[in-house]
Structure 1
Amino acid sequence: MVMQGYKQTEIGMVPVKWSVSDFGSKVKIYRGGSPRPIQDYLTQAQDGINWIKIGDVREGDKYITSTEEKIIPAGVAQSRTVHAGDFILSNSMSFGRPYILNIDGCIHDGWLTIQKYEKTFSKNFLYYLLSSDSVYQQYISMAAGSSVKNLNKEKVSALVVAYPDIKEQERIADALSNIDSLIATLEKQIAKKKAIKQGTMQELLTGKRRLPGFSGEWETRTLHEISNEMVDGPFGSNLKTEHYTTERQVRIIQLSNIGEAGWNNANVKYTTFSHAAELQRCIVQPGSILIAKMMPAGRAIICPDNEKSYILGSDVVKVVPNSSVDSRYLVYATKSQFYLDQIADDTQGSTRARTSVSKLRKTAILFPEKDEQIAIADILSEMDMEIAALEGKIAKYRQIKQGMMQQLLTGKIRLV
């Protein structure tokens, strides 16, 4: 049933007064080009032309404001010139993610550029339109059956887009820009708090700054010296896919579970109680310390109590500290430069940084008395909670933004 004031189109219902067009009929789309060999055209000279690469943008960026590299003017004829205000899309990496240029430059053949859109689209509205789920799903549909997701000029031209007049476009873009501003403000707050926490960690975890009421001597002890138990996971052949079960029995701890900020609950796999019983030394109780052998080597977290029982994967080490150690302090100490430098020294020369339980046993940590460990961990935990609260707010605002985009960019909610 078509609602009053709306019309049915191939991309769903949209307001009657909105236009629906093939994107390529309203803009100019060009593919980039690259002078070859590119090394012969790179320059540090002041008159060099900005050479725009995917490495010049970070996740979440809207604008491209600078480049790491430049090319000589002689390379321009073999490339594609772009200007401030133009859009560029990556045709493979990040698959259609739009960026707005704040600089002039040249693009290689991994980019598409969208130009001469101003008669039909406001710049910010077009940015949100190209970032929408509707457009992404069309890209996915066009790429169906292909093992590699690549865009080209023809696919982008074939997009079917719905849009109101310029004035309503600007109102929609303003509403979405406002929530983006809120998110950006929170991101800055998080970055600031993380920087403060990093500085605090390096001071507190080395004894350079002492908390009031503490003056005892610190000791350097190895992980072996402070552990009641320290073992690594089984050989891969002892825990294979044939030992997995779909039933919730014994959770397998994998590298991907050892996240930067703690336990990452993705990639859930279980083995059977009977098979786990054959690998008794690898059983893990909640509260134990888990250390990754790689990706990255030496990262540590506390095993959560999400499951009743766990078992180590092959690239994870279990540490059960003795009573002289606060587990939270120990995990924070694995983020100190003192610890990280030792891990780096132990993994030098390998193409893929990897440590082992024998190397980790020799790795040293700086320890104050336990009551000072607890006080330090309390301060750092409070900082983590503040950061987590802000990250929760960002997640909420991003969810709200996603809903707003779905409603505003389809005309289900009108700003008139």
Structure 2
Amino acid sequence: MSNPYPVTTLGEVFEIARGGSPRPIKDYITEDPAGLNWISIKDASNGGKYISETKQKIRKEGLSKSRLVKPGDFLLTNSMSFGRPYIMNTTGCIHDGWLVLSSDPEKVFPDYFYYLLGSETMYRKFSALAGGAVVKNLNIDLVKGVEIPLPPLKEQKRIAAILDKTDAIRRKRRQVIQLAEEFLRAVFLDMFGDPVTNSKGWDTLGLSKVIESERGISYGVVQRGDQDNDGVRLVRISDFTENLFNPKGVIKCSQEISDQYKRTVLKGGELLISIRGTVGRIAVVPDYAVGWNVTREVAIIPLLEGESRAFIRSLLLTGPAQRLISGQVKGVAQSGINLADLREFELIRPPENMIKRYERIEAFVMDKFVSYADEKDYDALFFSLSQTLFAGEL
């Protein structure tokens, strides 16, 4: 069935530009309330539609070396999770890790384009455009040529209303899982104390001592091509957004490319950690993902036989550990954590019987909460519904 909506390009609907950064950026950061909002990926880490405030400001002198964005503009991540869209709810300056899309409000209903730009189909298009480079960035001229369906404004609003309702259900699922994680973090801290300051005085051991030496902590595939149906499936950051392994789309690379990254071919049971963009997400690899590989934004932590995945995952997800990991983030547009810093992370080593007890608690809680949250696969429903709507089939 052909799409009944007119097909146009992003460049015909939006004025597209890249951000810029005054350098060195640390010389422009200011606490002056009159400074300009400095927008980073951290300001969008809650996963919502809008960016309404920023954690940092820059001096007004930095404007000439950056780009000012305004309410109603779209921001797209220019690298890492390509094309992840956000709607501006404030003014501010953006660095070159962002693309800004400005539009005519008589042609564009923001919520429709929020869902379209964030769809799996658009991700694949953006990823293909960025393919081949070691440091992957979206080329503006190529982005302008990406074809999109453009329904009439009234139809855009209808589609957005349907997806809003479905997305609200999906968010409730996430809230259930978040409650489980918050409960487990509280239990962990009560049993073991602050794992960074080691408030209960346990023995400690470096993370590098509990991983497979022949594989080590490694990031994955740099080059990828998502059109190879016979290729190797890749795990990206969006596949474990709730710190649970939950693939949302299919991105692949060729077998030849995957073979160049043998250390990150998944065997099951590894921990995954996001190391670029939004850092510090953690998940355990299930058995059904054996043979898959990971993207360069993801690193594997292949724990030794007998090490507790549940305990170490929970430790790394505690507030103190997450703050320590966030404090090691370096860079601006290509922000991330250094694997050498991660290898030196000190793990507390409580008695084995306490770890086993925590494992039992964690297994019980996650089984109850996650099985409840996954009673219906709302993520699969949402993606299927959105593709049907954008194709004009509903």
TM bin, normalised by shorter chain, reads: 0.5 to 0.7
Deviation at 1:201, TM superposition (A): 4.1
Match of 1:96, as an amino acid?
Answer: G
Which range moved further: 194-203 or 34-43?
A: 194-203
Q: Which whole-Å deviations, capped at 9, do the CAs of 1:140-187 have from their partners, x for residues lacking one?
A: 444455555321321222121212111111110011111111122222
Residue number in structure 2 paired with 1:381: 363
Provide closer, same or farther for how the CA distance between residues 117 and 151 of structure 1 changes in structure 2, counting only shifts above 3 A.
farther
Contact between 1:222 and 1:365, CA under 8 Å: does it hold in 2? no
- Of residues 169, 176, 200 in structure 2, which corresponds to 1:189? 176
Q: Which whole-Å CA distance do the structure 2 matches of 1:141 and 1:63 have between them?
A: 26
- Of residues 252, 264, 267 in structure 1, which corresponds to 2:286? 264
Deviation at 1:196, TM superposition (A): 2.0
Residue number in structure 2 paired with 1:33: 20
Match of 2:147, as an amino acid?
Answer: V
Provide closer, same or farther for how the CA distance between residues 53 and 174 of structure 1 changes in structure 2, counting only shifts above 3 A.
same
Contact between 1:82 and 1:104, CA under 8 Å: does it hold in 2? yes
TM-score normalized by the length of structure 1: 0.60
Whose strand proportion is higher, 1 or 2? 1
Deviation at 1:295, TM superposition (A): 6.5
Contact between 2:44 and 2:51, CA under 8 Å: does it hold in 1? yes
Q: Secondary structure at the match of 2:175?
A: helix
Match of 1:389, as an amino acid?
Answer: S
Find the structure with the greater CA-based Rg: 1
Structure 1 segment 163-178 matched on structure 2, within 5 A: 163-178=150-165
How many residues align? The count is: 301
Q: Secondary structure at the match of 2:304?
A: strand
Q: Which whole-Å deviations, capped at 9, do the CAs of 1:24-47 have from their partners, x for residues lacking one?
A: 122222222222332222101111
Match of 2:365, as an amino acid?
Answer: M
- Of residues 57, 63, 66 in structure 2, which corresponds to 1:76? 63
Structure 1 segment 312-351 matched on structure 2, within 5 A: 316-319=303-306, 351=340
Structure 1 segment 93-242 matched on structure 2, within 5 A: 93-143=80-130, 146=133, 148-203=135-190, 236=214
Contact between 1:52 and 1:107, CA under 8 Å: does it hold in 2? yes
- Of residues 6, 14, 34 in structure 1, which corresponds to 2:3? 14
Match of 1:384, as an amino acid?
Answer: M
Contact between 1:295 and 1:353, CA under 8 Å: does it hold in 2? no
Contact between 1:254 and 1:316, CA under 8 Å: does it hold in 2? no
Q: Which whole-Å CA distance do the structure 2 matches of 1:334 and 1:142 have between them?
A: 34
Provide closer, same or farther for how the CA distance between residues 14 and 195 of structure 1 changes in structure 2, counting only shifts above 3 A.
same
Match of 1:99, as an amino acid?
Answer: Y
Deviation at 1:222, TM superposition (A): 8.8
Deviation at 1:261, TM superposition (A): 6.2
Q: Which whole-Å CA distance do the structure 2 matches of 1:23 and 1:233 have between them?
A: 46
Provide closer, same or farther for how the CA distance between residues 40 and 14 of structure 1 changes in structure 2, counting only shifts above 3 A.
same
Provide closer, same or farther for how the CA distance between residues 295 and 353 of structure 1 changes in structure 2, counting only shifts above 3 A.
farther
Q: Which whole-Å CA distance do the structure 2 matches of 1:258 and 1:120 have between them?
A: 45
In the alignment, structure 1 residue 365 sits paired with structure 2 residue 351: yes
Deviation at 1:406, TM superposition (A): 0.9
- Of residues 363, 374, 378 in structure 2, which corresponds to 1:397? 378
Provide closer, same or farther for how the CA distance between residues 390 and 63 of structure 1 changes in structure 2, counting only shifts above 3 A.
farther
Deviation at 1:90, TM superposition (A): 1.9
Deviation at 1:87, TM superposition (A): 0.4
Deviation at 1:100, TM superposition (A): 0.8
Q: Which whole-Å CA distance do the structure 1 matches of 2:89 and 2:118 have between them?
A: 18
Contact between 2:270 and 2:303, CA under 8 Å: does it hold in 1? no
Identity rate, percent? 30
Q: Which whole-Å CA distance do the structure 2 matches of 1:334 and 1:140 have between them?
A: 29
5+ residue gaps, structure 1: 4-12, 207-219, 224-230, 238-251, 270-293, 297-314, 321-327, 345-349
Q: Secondary structure at the match of 2:392?
A: coil
Residue number in structure 1 paired with 2:259: none
Q: Which whole-Å deviations, capped at 9, do the CAs of 1:104-130 have from their partners, x for residues lacking one?
A: 101122221111231211010011121
Provide closer, same or farther for how the CA distance between residues 80 and 201 of structure 1 changes in structure 2, counting only shifts above 3 A.
closer
Q: Secondary structure at the match of 1:317?
A: coil
In the alignment, structure 1 residue 46 sits paired with structure 2 residue 33: yes
Match of 1:174, as an amino acid?
Answer: A
Contact between 1:34 and 1:78, CA under 8 Å: does it hold in 2? yes
Q: Secondary structure at the match of 2:167?
A: helix
Which range moved further: 100-109 or 146-155?
A: 146-155
Q: Secondary structure at the match of 1:189?
A: helix
In the alignment, structure 1 residue 407 sits paired with structure 2 residue 388: yes
Contact between 2:115 and 2:160, CA under 8 Å: does it hold in 1? yes
Match of 2:364, as an amino acid?
Answer: E
Residue number in structure 2 paired with 1:89: 76
Deviation at 1:367, TM superposition (A): 4.5
Q: Which whole-Å CA distance do the structure 2 matches of 1:51 and 1:144 have between them?
A: 29
In the alignment, structure 1 residue 63 sits paired with structure 2 residue 45: no
Deviation at 1:84, TM superposition (A): 1.6
Residue number in structure 1 paired with 2:333: none
Deviation at 1:21, TM superposition (A): 1.6
Deviation at 1:205, TM superposition (A): 6.7
Q: Which whole-Å CA distance do the structure 1 matches of 2:9 and 2:312 have between them?
A: 57
